[in-house]
Amino acid sequence: MALGETPEVLVAQEVRKRYTKDGPWAVDGISLVLRRGEVVSIVGPNGAGKSTLIQMMLGLLVPDSGSIRIFGTEMATGRRKVAHRINYASTDLSLPYSLTVRENLTAYALIYNMSNIRERIERVLVALNLEPFRDVRVGRLSTGQVARMGIAKALINDPELLFLDEPTATLDPEVSAQLRATLQGMVRDRNMTLLYTSHNMREVERFSDRLYLMNRGRLVAEGTVPALMTRFDTEDLEALFLQMVQRERESDE
């Protein structure tokens, strides 16, 4: 941590966003904090506003009101000042299929203005068990290998804050477990902060230090998994998730 930096990596305050003037709020007054070295999950049903929130955190979208600061920089206006310290992987995105794993990583190492590109690529390939595929075109990789390739791209700049949008959605349980272990190691060794979305509640239970539960653009609960389960008297996160969504639906009616 540099002199003057606080442990808060990301601070969102009263963030609101909607896509049409009179439409519903996709994100409605969300405030949250991410601290250095923690794994935080955002969970919620489809349409809860998770993707919109992450896109604003990445600077892809500008909030209608409120503020998102990463490393103290307002993302709506200063994204480029901190973009080299963050990265993102999502199953919705891909990389050019006709380039090999190494070529794709080389391109992104250059785009992120990295030096020691060969060593950096080898390190990422080893971390994600992708060394045997370094010279294989992305189009010839399996779905799981493509997902790991996306994460390899997201690690190429040694991000201090990493956003992963459903990274294990296409992976089998064994590969998912390996990936979680790899990411946990990176969080521990590099003091990296990880913001994670998933529909796999068991994974979120095992993986997260804290979680935020979203529904209809709002945060409806926040805390550690054990604290939330005690507070809402549920046995697991899935039951908690269903209970919260049901409660919200009833209150709307």
Partner 1 sequence: MNSSRPAVPLLAWRPLAGILFRQIVLYRRSVPRWMEIFYWPLLDLLVWGFLTLYLKKIPSFMPSAVTSLLGALLLWDLLYRAQQGISVMFLEEIWSKNLIHLLIAPITPFHVVGGAVLSSIVKVLLSSSVAAFLAYFLFSFKIFSLGLHLFFFILALLMMGWALGILTTAVILRFGQEAEVLAWGVIFLFQPFSAVFNPVSVLPQVAADISRAVPASYVFEGMRSVLVQGRLPIGDLFMAFSLDFLYVGVALFVYSRVIARARQKGFHLKLGS
Using rule CB under 8 A, residue 31 touches partner 1: no
Backbone angles phi, psi at 231, to 5 degrees: -65, -40
What is the end-to-end Cα distance of the chain in Å, rounded?
A: 48
Using rule CB under 8 A, residue 85 touches partner 1: yes
Pairing between strand 8-17 and 65-70? antiparallel
Nearest Cα residue to 34 out of 80, 70, 74:
70
Instruction: Give the x/- contact pattern for partner 1 in 152-181, rule: CB under 8 A.
Output: -x------x---------------------
- Residue 214 CB neighbour total at 10 angstroms: 27
Q: Which of 65, 111, 142, 231 binds partner 1 (CB under 8 A)?
A: 111
Using rule CB under 8 A, residue 133 touches partner 1: no
Using rule CB under 8 A, residue 23 touches partner 1: no
Using the minimum distance from each CB to partner 1, give the nearer residue, 117 or 245. 117
Using the minimum distance from each CB to partner 1, give the nearer residue, 90 or 168. 90
Q: Which of 95, 130, 141, 204 binds partner 1 (CB under 8 A)?
A: 95
Sequence-separated (6 or more) residues with CB below 8 Å from residue 170: 91, 143, 144, 146, 147
Do residues 192 and 161 lie in contact, with contact meaning Cβ atoms separated by under 8 Å? Answer: yes
Using the minimum distance from each CB to partner 1, give the nearer residue, 163 or 241. 163
Sheet of strand 210-215: strand arrangement: 86-90, 161-165, 193-197, 39-43, 210-215, 218-223
Nearest Cα residue to 209 out of 154, 52, 191:
191
Q: Which of 28, 47, 67, 81 binds partner 1 (CB under 8 A)?
A: 81
Q: Which of 14, 24, 31, 60 binds partner 1 (CB under 8 A)?
A: 60
Q: How far is the CB of 247 from partner 1 (least distance, A)?
A: 29
Contact footprint for partner 1 (CB under 8 A):
1-6, 19, 52, 55, 58-62, 71-73, 80-88, 90, 92-99, 103-104, 106-114, 153, 160
